[in-house]
């Protein structure tokens, strides 16, 4: 949500919001790539480790992700260094499911919750290629920069305290299947699982896919048998359903920690069908709630 330009004070008068003077659109690119464009070469079936660092002039709030890549066959893990290198996903996810593969912000993948950087805070991304050939990636975190060194201390302190506290309670989070899904040709009812771990609850907002061919899928609570969906047909071969066009939930679904989801798939591709599925949402850390 944009910072409001005007605020109404307790006296009823409308005034310019002082924080507006100190906020700017900002694009955070990886540090130390050795080139101005931020291009990083990921070796065939190898890893590339990238650092995103907020400068000391003030915090950064990321609201969207995009990247360029040579091949879509690359995974990514995002980690918060300050929180003991805490990952924002249960295991590596296909980058195309959470990062729009376009530069310039067209159809930008919007995070379910913003990603907050305190000054000098570091997040990392680890890209892993599985295309079998060198892969060039160029990731960008889109957001806004609060240049607070020149702002009145009271304004800066209140903003940073509020945003930093929220980041401790909940963060963007991504769940993919516990193991890779390769559907046998024309199979019916092949199962996979997603386990919401004990570290926190999960609020499911949207789903993205990338697959070799068409399939149906269904999801149920493994313990109670309660169904979250009927059969949903997906014809996702790198277009509809990836991060550019997520399947958004009409009502976000709360999934308690230590819950296992059972997924069932039917193949309609007629061949081996590799399905990459990511649940988009946020993790809620109950132990940090007041």
pLDDT the model gives residue 44: 96
**φ, ψ at 276 (rounded to 5°):** -115, 115
Domain span at 282: 177-288
pTM: predicted TM-score of the whole model, two decimal places: 0.88
Low-confidence ranges of the chain (pLDDT < 70): 1, 4, 33-37, 103-106, 155-156, 158-159, 229-233, 235-241, 287-290
| Statement to judge: residues 274 and 145 lie in one domain | no
| Statement to judge: residues 230 and 277 lie in one domain | yes
pLDDT the model gives residue 36: 64
- For residue 253, what is the domain's CATH number? 2.60.120
| Statement to judge: residues 126 and 201 lie in one domain | no
What's the sign of the alpha-carbon dihedral 215, 280, 146, 126?
negative
Number of domains in the chain: 2
- Short-list 233, 240, 229, 220, CA closest to 267: 233
Q: Are strands 135-146 and 40-42 parallel, antiparallel or unpaired?
A: antiparallel
Which of 121, 148, 169 is the last residue before a domain boundary? 169
Question: Within a domain: residue 5?
Answer: no
Cα–Cα distance measured from residue 144 to residue 77, given in angstroms and rounded to the nearest whole number: 22
Which of 169, 201, 224 is the last residue before a domain boundary? 169
């Amino acid at each position: 949500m944009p910072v409001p330009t005007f605020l109404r004070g307790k006296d009823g008068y409308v005034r310019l919001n002082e924080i507006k003077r100190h906020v700017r659109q900002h694009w955070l690119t990886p540090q130390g790539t050795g080139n101005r464009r931020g291009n990083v070469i990921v070796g065939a079936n190898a890893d590339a480790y990238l650092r995103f660092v907020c400068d000391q002039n003030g915090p950064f709030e990321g609201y969207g992700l995009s990247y360029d890549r040579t091949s879509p066959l690359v995974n990514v893990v995002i980690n918060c260094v300050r929180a003991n290198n805490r990952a924002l996903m249960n295991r590596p996810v296909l980058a195309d499911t959470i990062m729009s593969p376009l530069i310039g912000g067209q159809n930008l993948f919007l995070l379910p919750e913003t990603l907050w950087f305190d000054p000098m805070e570091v997040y990392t991304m680890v890209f892993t290629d599985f295309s079998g050939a060198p892969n060039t990636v160029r990731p960008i975190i889109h957001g806004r920069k609060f240049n607070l060194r020149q702002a009145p201390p009271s304004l800066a302190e209140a903003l940073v305290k509020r945003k930093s506290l929220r980041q401790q309670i909940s963060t963007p989070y991504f769940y993919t299947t516990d193991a890779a899904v390769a559907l046998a040709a024309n199979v019916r009812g092949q199962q996979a699982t997603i386990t919401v771990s004990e570290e926190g609850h999960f609020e499911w907002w949207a789903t993205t896919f990338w697959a070799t061919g068409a399939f149906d899928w269904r999801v149920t609570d493994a313990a109670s048998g309660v169904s979250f969906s009927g059969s949903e047909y997906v014809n996702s071969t790198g277009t509809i359903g990836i991060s550019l066009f997520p399947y958004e939930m009409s009502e976000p679904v709360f999934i308690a920690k230590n819950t296992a989801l059972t997924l069932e798939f039917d193949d309609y591709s007629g061949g081996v069908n590799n399905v990459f599925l990511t649940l988009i949402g946020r993790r809620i850390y109950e132990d940090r709630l007041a």
